[in-house]
Amino acid sequence: MPLTRKAYRAAILHSIADPAEVGIEASYEYFEDGLLVVDNGQISALGHASELLASLPANIEITHYQDALITPGFIDTHIHLPQTGMVGAYGEQLLDWLNTYTFPCESQFADRAHAEEVAEIFIKELLRNGTTTALVFGSVHPQSVNAFFEAAEKLDLRMIAGKVMMDRNAPDYLTDTAESSYLESKALIERWHGKGRLHYAVTPRFAPTSTPEQLTLAGQLLGEYPNLYMQTHISENLQEVEWVKELFPERKGYLDVYDHYQLLGERSVFAHGVHLCDDECARLAQTGSAVAFCPTSNLFLGSGLFNLPMAEKHKLNVGLGTDVGGGTSFSLLQTLNEAYKVMQLQGARLSPFKSLYLATLGGARALRLEERIGTLQPGTDADFLVLDYNATPLLSYRLKQSKSIAETLFVLMTLGDDRTVAQTYAAGNLVHQR
């Protein structure tokens, strides 16, 4: 196959470390007039255009973007595919919301054609919003995951997904059994895990909807295949936390349920974590587990405010999640807008560089994929975005007043949304153009 080499010139920004660990100034690289060189789907060079241009062959195709910023593709560490059709459902908190809206919506995925239609819409929506990697909940039906992976594979996307395991405390039309969930998950793992840029996640919905038998088998699956992911929910809502105590009185608390069934580990991601305590954060960090911070969802469902400073104190890996449909937008820019407010309400500040980290390298670290995605370092996958400074009249006017890249970045995160994403590239291929 002939080498395909392309270059992209614009302002370029990426995270190289967690600002909480190295300080803001050492956490990013910014090239006011930068150049990104891509060879066969991988980044081969990054730097100042003035320094790199001379080293390129004369006939190379260079795409030059004016009034734009290139960043790594965004990484969504918690999102529900089957809830696409019920985003913005009125009036409930978590447990009532599941019964009123979510479960009926998810039941439609018993139909293969419906699963395929929603998978296409869902992936288009991710790419329109600049999300190039997501950790995705399917429904209880294996076809939800097959449909999603088939659509993702066509575009060579790096995606992670799993079939929900749920054998109690849900409507009969939406439950599996401990045994069937194990066998169906196993078949999906053997078909998809490690195929191209796809990975499988063992997915018990949350402790209340799985019997001890099912949680045991989820832990068993993780031991049977290398590098599997595990995703579930934890401590999202106070009512839910109390319910877990009633269902598992023999365990010390919510996290201890998952710990007992051997579901903590380096590729385990726990969504929400709004009501975690210090000891639980310490245990998550000790096991290399990660938490997905889902601010639009936590505000919309009235769940509470995620304590990011406590997570940082324990050096706990944190990614960002849109959670759709508990959340209200596929846009990680909009999610960061809400994350900033969640911190403000707790008397803490979220710097734009920490926000960039959470949406890119932080998410990659939460998923143990920082060698492949989350930065624009040479040798990584060419998953990147072009953000348009003139996407809306207000954004254009506001950015003309900006005096620094920090201010520009913050304005993109407060006024930006899907319209701001001019182009999305995955493995060097243009997969979305506004």
pLDDT digits (tens, 9 = 90+) for 357-396: 999 999 999 999 999 999 999 999 999 999 999 999 999 9
Task: Determine which helix (DSSP H) or strand (DSSP E) holds 342, and give its type and residue range.
Answer: helix 332-344
Residue type, 220: Q
> What distance, in Å, lies between the first and last C-alpha atoms of the chain?
30
The predicted-structure confidence for 243-302, as pLDDT tens digits, reads as follows 999 999 999 999 999 999 999 999 999 999 999 999 999 999 999 999 999 999 999 999
Tokens of 304: 């509470």
DSSP string covering 267-286, please? TEEEEE-TT--HHHHHHHHH
pLDDT over 80 at 1, yes or no: no
Is-contact 227 192, C-beta < 8 A?
no
Considering the chain, what is the average pLDDT of its residues?
A: 96
| Phi-psi group of 199: left, alpha or beta (phi > 0 → left; psi -120 to 50 → alpha; rest → beta) | beta
* Beta pairing class for 198-204 and 229-234: parallel
**CA-CA distance, 88 to 332, in Å (whole number)?**
16
* Sign (positive or negative) of CA dihedral 136, 141, 146, 152: negative
User: Phi first, then psi: what are they for 279, rounded to 5°?
Assistant: -65, -40
CATH number of 74-330: 3.20.20.140
Residue type, 154: K
Across the range 8-16, mean pLDDT stands at 98
pLDDT over 90 at 425, yes or no: yes
pLDDT over 60 at 184, yes or no: yes
pLDDT over 70 at 2, yes or no: no
C-alpha pair distances (Å), 339 with each of 19, 20, 162, 210, 428: 16, 16, 26, 30, 30
Across the range 415-419, mean pLDDT stands at 97
Question: What is the pLDDT at residue 215?
Answer: 98
The predicted-structure confidence for 90-144, as pLDDT tens digits, reads as follows 888 888 888 888 888 898 999 999 999 999 999 999 999 999 999 999 999 999 9
Q: 3-class DSSP state for residue 379?
A: coil
Helix, strand, coil percentages, rounded to 5, for the chain: 45, 25, 30
User: Which of 241, 244, 231, 358 lies closest to 304 in space, CA to CA?
Assistant: 241
User: Phi first, then psi: what are they for 206, rounded to 5°?
Assistant: -165, 165
| pLDDT confidence bin for 30, thresholds 50/70/90 | very high
Please compute Rg for the chain using Cα positions. Answer: 21
**CA-CA distance, 377 to 45, in Å (whole number)?**
8
The predicted-structure confidence for 61-96, as pLDDT tens digits, reads as follows 999 999 999 999 999 999 999 998 888 888 888 888
**CA-CA distance, 334 to 329, in Å (whole number)?**
7
Is-contact 28 13, C-beta < 8 A?
yes
Q: For the chain, which residues make up each domain, given as ranges?
A: 5-73+375-433, 74-330
DSSP string covering 86-129, please? GSS--S--HHHHIIIIIHHHHHGGGSHHHHHHHHHHHHHHHHHT
Please state whether the peptide bond connecting residue 325 to the residue before it is cis, i.e. omega within 30 degrees of 0. yes
Across the range 195-209, mean pLDDT stands at 97
**CA-CA distance, 64 to 278, in Å (whole number)?**
48
Is-contact 274 346, C-beta < 8 A?
no
| % of the chain with per-residue pLDDT over 70 | 99
Question: What is the pLDDT at residue 89?
Answer: 85
Across the range 47-74, mean pLDDT stands at 95
Cross-strand bridge partners of residue 38:
6, 43
For residue 95, how many other CB atoms are within 10 A of its CB?
A: 16
| pLDDT confidence bin for 37, thresholds 50/70/90 | very high
Give 251-257 contacts, CB < 8 A, sequence gap 24+.
253/277, 253/280, 254/207, 254/280, 255/280, 255/283, 255/284, 257/207, 257/215
Which CATH number is correct for 5-73+375-433, 3.40.50.1970, 2.30.40.10, 3.30.300.30, 2.70.98.50? 2.30.40.10
The predicted-structure confidence for 150-170, as pLDDT tens digits, reads as follows 999 999 999 999 999 999 999
Q: 3-class DSSP state for residue 240?
A: helix
For residue 25, how many other CB atoms are within 10 A of its CB?
A: 8
